[in-house]
Chain A
Amino acid sequence: MNYEDDYLKKVNYQIWKKILKVVFKEKKTAILLVVVVVFTGILDISIPLFGAYAIDTYFDKKIFTTLPLYITLLFISAFLLGLSVWAFISLATKIEVETNYQLRKKAFENLQKLSLDYYDKTPQGWIMARMTSDSRRLAEIISWGLVDVFWSLALMLTILVILFIFNVKLALIIFISLPLMMVIAYFFRKKILKYFRKARKLNSEVTRAFNESFLAANTSKSLAIETRLSKDFGSQTQNLKEKTIKAVVWSSLFTPLVLMISYLVLALVMYQGSKMVLNITVGALTIGTFYLFVDYTTSFFNPINNIARILAQLQQAQAAAERIIELIEKDTTVKDSKEVILKYGNKEQPNYANWEPIIGKIEFLNVDFYYQEKEIILKNFNLTINPGTRVALVGPTGGGKTSIANLIMRFYQPVRGKILIDDVDYQKRSIHWLRSNIGYVLQTPYLFTGTIFDNIRYGNLSATEDEVKSAAKLVGADQFIRNLPLGYQSEVGESGNKLSLGEKQLISFARALIVNPKIFILDEATSSIDSAKEKEIIFAIDQLLKTRTSIIIAHRLSTIVESDLIIYIDQGKIIESGNHQTLINNRGPYFDLYKTQFFATKEEQLKDLI
């Protein structure tokens, strides 16, 4: 993704149409906003008219009959102006806030539909940026852009109309200078945007360098390379400074230049106007009208700055729009077919009546699977797991263990071949049905901000308080939870960071248990937890796996040894399978694994011992 080129993009109406469709649920607000903004623009313009009228009528002609009406109108327009400013700020911010809200909502809803292959390919930071800064920027440009563009247009048009009514010749002078101004303004805006983007990029490099220096502080000290790092950093900041100053040059040139031109036009207007007043040229001009021209000439060019800015920003925002639309429209690869939805219902309205009870038999039939075509994970893979058995998957990382779990969960689907649950191809049943019947515990126990109670209940949102507590009791988490000052209502902190790893794990067990599933998938944690918790966790695992079909990606010796079936997988193939005794006697790869594991475990235990 090359953000550098964002500003060069051609306008893509398709994208904007889509964005507007998302946004303008509130067509009324938008139309009202445009009306108010145009009204404000016209009001802004009418203020100098008061001055002009006063000069002509009261100062020159000294006729005061209209004075009361004049004063009344003056106050009314003051009030109206305030009112319209209040109105357009209210409306524009409403659109801004709602757009931002809608974009985030839509994108998030689609994210919930997307399957895991999308998350594999897309960095989390990228998605976060779309959901925060991109959506904010879009909302801003849509709402305030609307204000600026219409206000500017209304202002310029009204000025032109009034001027043409009062004096065609003078108006023409102003009108002719318009295109020149537009070209210059647009050219500058683009340049400025381009340079500031460059500078911003360098700025984030500098931030990254700072971050690295903090992380590396003590390593750098021990290597005594501070001077060299300072020199590198110095050249980075120097570069940032130079590029920023370059951007500053362009942006400082811009305003004076636009003003300069508008004053040149003003000088011309003054010259021509004076000639008319002095009756040197044809065309009469009152002093009042002349004042109007002087005032209007300078205010006529102000909006150009706005329009140029909006145009430049629109191009920039288009990239943001494209990315958000992509997020909203992205189609998922794992989904239920129409027939399945018809029978089993969708996530919003599951048709529980048609859901078959599950027994827990799992079968892989000639399954091929890969994440990327170049790296095949499983090739013609066959495996049958009978109901109620405990299966341990072992073998080197990257051998395909996690992929098997992912396939059973239907996070991914086989590229070729079938997976049968209770002898039926699982693609013939709904994803919701499948996942509601499988308990899954991940290696890293992710918790959500909220209370412990909420986190356990996450497994089954309709669980009662008693069910939550008994699940906690069953995995042996009840004790530590009740020792907390707020018990089950204790906050776990962001991602559960107020709890220890072992505690988080226990809660994630309880969360899986409350589903009361027929099939259990457990990805055991690799790093050992505080040894005090170790026993509790082994106990908890036993509770989880009782009477269920279970598939464990196993790391702990005790878990492996006690499984009904151990499957050694490497490079997507089953190398060996059988129970512990048979495999030990085989003296194959399992034996080696067991040996290393044995000593590693003991060594870990030794570490605490000494």
Chain B
Amino acid sequence: MKKVKRLFSFVKVFKWLLLVIIVLSIFNRFTYSYVPLFSQYLFAFLRDPLRETIYQVNFPRFVSEFLWPNEGITTVIKIVMMLAGFQTVRFTISFFETFLVGKLSEEIQFNLRNQLFNHLQSLEYSYHKKADIGDLIQRVTTDIETIGFFLSERIGEFFTLLATIIFGSLQLYFISPIMLLIILVFLPISAGASIVYFIYVNKSFKIIEENEAKMITVIQENLEAVKVVKAFANEKYEEEKLEKANLEYVSSQKKYNKKRALYWGSSDIFSMLQYSTIIIVAIFFVRNERMSADGLVATLLLIGMIVWPIRGLGWMIGDFAKALVSSDRIYEILEQESEFLENGDLKPPLNQGFTFKNVSFQFKDSNNELLKNVNFEINEGETVAIIGKTGSGKSTLVYLLLRMLEVSSGEILFGEVPIKEIEKHYLRKNIGLVMQEPFLYGKSIYDNIAITNHKITEEKVYQAANVANLSDEIASFKAGYQTMVGERGVMLSGGQKQRIGIARVLIEEKPILIFDDSLSAVDVKTDVEIRKTLKKDHRQTIIIITHRITTAKEADKIIVLENGQVSAIGNHQSLKNQKGLYQDLWEIQGSLEKEFLNLIEGYQDEL
């Protein structure tokens, strides 16, 4: 029940719109049940000169009075005009009904899309790290559509069906209660069959989908590995492989189609049986003078109204079940807590250095401590290198500093202010982070550089690109700065992406800059150049995370991380004379150079 409530909560904002739709669809069916009466009246009028049967027509009183006195062609004109007028009003309303249903569906989807987009963006770092993107896409597309469709169209149709049966039965009751009884005997059978059929169909669809997926895999792998196929001259084998998958897919479809033909064929016979029964009963009635021809006319028209739509009941129930599943999947996302529920409100200047005090970190669902009791202090304007091997906790440190992860114990202070009291957006805006693999948005190069501030002057953008050593390459593109990147744009190399990532944080001056292994794909020359340019501004604090000893060497302060712990702090001079990882690395580097020289020398000697 809670689940049903949750599903309907999506339509809460639009409850008035939904109400209007329900009222309109009921009204539509209510008025529709009167349409056959016009024919009934006309036939009664034409057939019966004594006008007795006319009183059997279940028109409201004012209509009967309006049509009276019944004199020749004027009455016919009255009836016909009334019918045309009546239908005009009905169709106008029915236009609004359909339109509003479409609008409601769209409004629900619009709201859900925006709500989910914003909510997903506010979910914490760890959520996105683990997220299955294919599954998320499914949720924000198909599931949203399913919900939108159900809450508008299906709900409307449900009330239409309900109203059709109720009002149709009512009219039928006035014509002949026994006829109604006959219909009511048949009705549950049709409804039941429809539901059973739906359950079956649903199962078949799953099998068909699975087989289709298998077939698509064959094609996809063939396209991907086209060179392999050709190199081994296995084209024929591939054709056989597809043939097999193709046939399997075909056979599962055929199996379903057999049942499909059987259901619709037999349900047609069944509906026709109802129709025939009504006619035959009517004929026997007319022998006993219990029913008139015009009554039969109206009955036949009314039966058509009731008999056919009931067959769709199974689909409705099926869609209801589907919508419930979809709403569950959407709620799974919405129930995740936004990271901004826990936020500070201070905006202190961030150019006073920062301190890690006894900081430890581990993910909530793991026992593995990624950082253990980390202590260090970084002063304003320092260039700091953090060196350590993959998995030593370097990146974790960065995400803690941006508060994309929360410390498990200990604290981080900016000046005197604990990080927990600082507003998150403010913090991140003031720390420029260049990731190892920066994401480029599906926009132009220009927009990607200016992504944090699209009102910035062009000059600043060009300047940043210049510092990041991008200008020449951008100039070599046909569209220059307007070249599109990302999914639908040009393919950029890892180094180019990194440098756009660098330019991106350089357009505005930030008190703290962090390069998270982001100079790795940039060649040494560029690396040096970029750092030289940055050095000019002495007020910026620069953190460089690296495994390149040549990069670390230049820093004012070097922090060595091993297994989540700080094993040494110092500068190149002090560390290279101190036993430990840094010294080892430095010596290996030195010996390498020697080894190389020896290697070439060796060859020369051999000559």
Contacts and interface: CB of A to CB of B under 8 A. Distances in A.
Interface in A574-604: 580-581, 584-585, 591, 595, 598-599, 602-603
B439 A54 contact: no
Nearest to A494: B217
Given A208-B442, A599-B592, A222 B404 contact: yes
B220 to A, nearest CB: 7
A86 B262 contact: yes
A51 to B, nearest CB: 5
A256 B81 contact: no
B141 A51 contact: no
Given A93-B253, A207-B137, A275-B73, A82 B265 contact: yes
B264 interface: yes
A267 B83 contact: yes
B605 to A, nearest CB: 11
B235 to A, nearest CB: 4
A77 B429 CA distance: 77
B73 A280 contact: yes
Contacts of A131: 219
B231 A229 contact: no
Interface in A102-142: 104-105, 108-109, 111-113, 116, 119, 124, 127-128, 131-132
B92 interface: yes
Contacts of B155: none
Say whether chain B's binding surface is mostly helix, strand, loop, or mixed.
Answer: helix
A94 B222 CA distance: 27
Given A278-B46, A409-B230, A610-B389, A101 B246 contact: yes
Contacts of A294: 39, 297
Interface in A420-448: 431-432, 435-436, 438, 440, 442, 446-448
Q: Is chain A's binding surface mostly helix, strand, loop or mixed?
A: helix
Contacts of B122: 226
A238 B110 contact: yes
Given A245-B102, A347-B236, A86 B261 contact: yes
Contacts of A64: 283, 287
B523 to A, nearest CB: 9
B120 interface: yes
Among A109, A222, A290, the one with the most B-chain Cβ atoms within 10 Å of its Cβ is: A222
Contacts of A182: none
B293 A112 contact: no
Given A55-B293, A440-B227, A213 B588 contact: no
Given A75-B276, A245-B106, A461-B237, 5 more contacts: A81-B268, A89-B260, A222-B404, A257-B91, A607-B547
A60 B293 contact: yes
Contacts of B270: 82
A436 B233 CA distance: 7
A216 interface: yes
Interface stretch (A170-178, A258-266, A305-313): A258-266
Interface in B558-607: 581, 584-585, 588-589, 592, 596, 599-600, 603-604, 606-607
A141 B183 CA distance: 36
A606 interface: yes
Interface in B450-503: 451-452, 454, 486-487
B275 A212 contact: no
A183 interface: no
B107 interface: yes
Given A86-B262, A218-B129, A274 B46 contact: yes
A131 B219 CA distance: 8
B334 interface: no
B14 interface: no
Interface stretch (A20-28, A246-254, A472-480, A532-540): A246-254
A259 B91 CA distance: 8
A484 interface: no
A78 B227 contact: no
Contacts of B269: 78-79, 81-83
A132 B245 CA distance: 14
A610 B586 CA distance: 11
Contacts of B39: 270, 291, 294
A283 interface: no
Interface of A: 47, 50-51, 54-55, 58-60, 62, 64, 67, 71, 74-75, 77-79, 81-83, 85-87, 89-90, 93-94, 97-98, 100-101, 104-105, 108-109, 111-113, 116, 119, 124, 127-128, 131-132, 206-226, 228-230, 233-234, 237-238, 240-241, 244-245, 248-249, 251-253, 255-257, 259-260, 263-264, 266-268, 270-271, 274-275, 277-278, 280, 287, 290-291, 294-295, 347-348, 409, 411, 431-432, 435-436, 438, 440, 442, 446-449, 458-459, 461, 494-495, 511, 515, 580-581, 584-585, 591, 595, 598-599, 602-603, 606-610
Contacts of B243: 105
A77 B217 CA distance: 47
Contacts of A87: 261, 265
Contact of B279 (A51, A257, A459): A51
Contacts of B136: 210, 214
A401 B227 CA distance: 16
Contacts of B109: 241
Interface string B255-297: 0011011101110111011011001101100110000110011
Contacts of B95: 252-253, 256
Nearest to B606: A581
A509 B76 CA distance: 90
B117 interface: yes
Contacts of B293: 55, 59-60, 287
Contacts, number: 380
Given A241-B107, A263-B87, A581-B603, A109 B257 contact: no
B140 interface: yes
B112 to A, nearest CB: 10
A210 B319 CA distance: 25
B441 interface: yes
Contacts of A105: 242-243, 246
B60 interface: no
Nearest to A84: B265
A290 B265 contact: no
A107 to B, nearest CB: 9
9 contacts: A93-B254, A112-B235, A211-B487, A226-B122, A252-B102, A263-B87, A266-B83, A278-B72, A290-B43
B121 A251 contact: no
B224 interface: yes
Contacts of B237: 458, 461
Given A82-B269, A82-B272, A50 B279 contact: yes
B441 A248 contact: no
A449 to B, nearest CB: 6
Contact of B257 (A60, A94, A266, A267): A94
B607 A585 contact: yes
Nearest to A227: B425
A437 B91 CA distance: 74
Contacts of A494: 217, 221
Contacts of A607: 389-390, 547
B133 interface: yes
Given A89-B257, A221-B428, A278 B607 contact: no
Interface string B433-455: 10100110110000000011010
B265 A598 contact: no
Contacts of B238: 108, 112
A82 B268 contact: yes
Contacts of B103: 245, 248
A62 B289 CA distance: 11
A60 B257 CA distance: 46
A215 B497 CA distance: 15
B225 interface: yes
B13 interface: no
B125 interface: yes
Contacts of A94: 254, 257
A109 B250 CA distance: 18
